[in-house]
Amino acid sequence: MERNTKQRQEIIETLKACYDHPTIKELYDLIKKNHKNIGQATIYRTINNLVKEDVIRRVECPDGIHYDYRKDHYHFYCLKCSKITDVFLDNKIIDNLLLSSNLNNIKHVNLVFEGICDSCKGKSSYEIK
């Protein structure tokens, strides 16, 4: 169905090579380096398609939407420095969660732990960004 264009390939490859959960703007800036006349409408359209096709994942955070190529884990968001880190959970834990929710037909569990990361822990007064 979807055409395997240069742009689509580049977007997927860039996100795959990227372990730090870029926003769409960050992704656009990264891709611009290699492919300098890609249009931002292409990024928006392609990213939205990839999410619908379940090729990539949206990570919904307090500071906006980030994207992740990998889909086998969940996330931690630091309320102080906004850093996102991967959280790997046992399947059994998620099964338990689904079981006790009494829901069915769940396609995806959007799970973000929010708190203060270790390196921010020691620092003085924090402000939620």
Partner DNA sequence: GTCAATGCAAATCCTTTGCATTCGG
Partner DNA sequence: CCGAATGCAAAGGATTTGCATTGAC
| Binding residues for a second copy restricted to 4-63, rule: CB under 8 A | 51-52, 58, 60-62
Kindly state the smallest distance separating residue 59's Cβ from a second copy, in Å: 10
Cα(99)–Cα(104) distance, integer angstroms: 9
Q: Which stretch binds DNA (CB under 7 A): 33-41, 53-61, 95-103, 114-122?
A: 33-41
Distance separating the N- and C-terminal Cα atoms of the chain:
41
Name which of 86, 5, 88, 81 is nearest 43 in CA terms. Answer: 5
Contact 88, 100 (CB under 8 A): no
Residue type, 58: R
If contact means CB under 5 to 8 A according to the sort of partner, which of DNA, a second copy, none does residue 126 touch?
none
Q: Which stretch binds DNA (CB under 7 A): 41-49, 71-79, 91-99, 106-114?
A: 41-49
- The DSSP symbol for 94 reads H
Residues that bind a second copy (CB under 8 A): 51-52, 58, 60-62, 74, 76, 79, 87, 89-90, 93, 96-98, 100-101, 103-117, 121, 127-128
